[in-house]
Amino acid sequence: MNDATGLTKDVGWELGVRRTVSAPVDEVWEYFVVDGLTTWLGNTTLPLHKGETYLTADGVKGEIRSRTDQLRLRLTWQPDDWDHDSTLQVTLMPSATGTTIGFHHERLASAAERERMLEHWTAVLDEIVDDLS
């Protein structure tokens, strides 16, 4: 059986993972752009403006596509062993109990790549929840 979960018509394979933490949005945003940057993106400096690029110590490179403080970061994401880039979006949403953090990753090349990245972002979110608890 061919499992096409996550296959889209326009952007290849995609995934989404979410977790809610009991911290307010401004605190979670500060974590994402300062203290927790290495947890989710890697050892790098996050560019502040659209079109600026980054490179992590682990070889992931990309470009900021959009940044709306305390709401959303959208960037390209390409490990050094990939021949294509992908699009990663991090969204923060106020919730009744704190902040819901969402990772959406699209333009993935295959079901196997989607599965690897689903495992990766799930583990990253678990670590973020631990950090913010």
- How far, in Å, CA of 53 to CA of 102, rounded? 22
The model's pLDDT over 70-83, given as tens digits with 9 standing for 90+, comes to 999 999 999 999 99
**Residue type, position 66, single letter:** S
* Structure confidence at residue 1 as a pLDDT band (50, 70, 90): very low
Distance of CA 115 to the CA centre of its chain: 15
User: Is 41:60 a contact under the CB 8 Å cutoff?
Assistant: yes
- pLDDT given for residue 3 in this prediction: 61
pLDDT greater than 80 at residue 61? yes
Q: What is the mean pLDDT of residues 35-54?
A: 90
- How far, in Å, CA of 40 to CA of 82, rounded? 18
User: Is 117:8 a contact under the CB 8 Å cutoff?
Assistant: no
Picking from 75, 70, 106, 107, the residue whose alpha carbon sits closest to that of residue 91 is 70
The model's pLDDT over 97-117, given as tens digits with 9 standing for 90+, comes to 999 999 999 999 999 999 999
Enumerate domains of the chain plus CATH numbers. 16-132 (3.30.530.20)
Average pLDDT of the chain to the nearest whole number: 92
pLDDT greater than 60 at residue 44? yes
Question: Which burial class, exposed, middle or buried, applies to 86 when counting CB atoms under 10 A from its CB (0-12, 13-18, 19+)?
Answer: buried
Question: Could you tell me what percent of the chain has a pLDDT over 90?
Answer: 82
Q: What is the mean pLDDT of residues 60-75?
A: 95
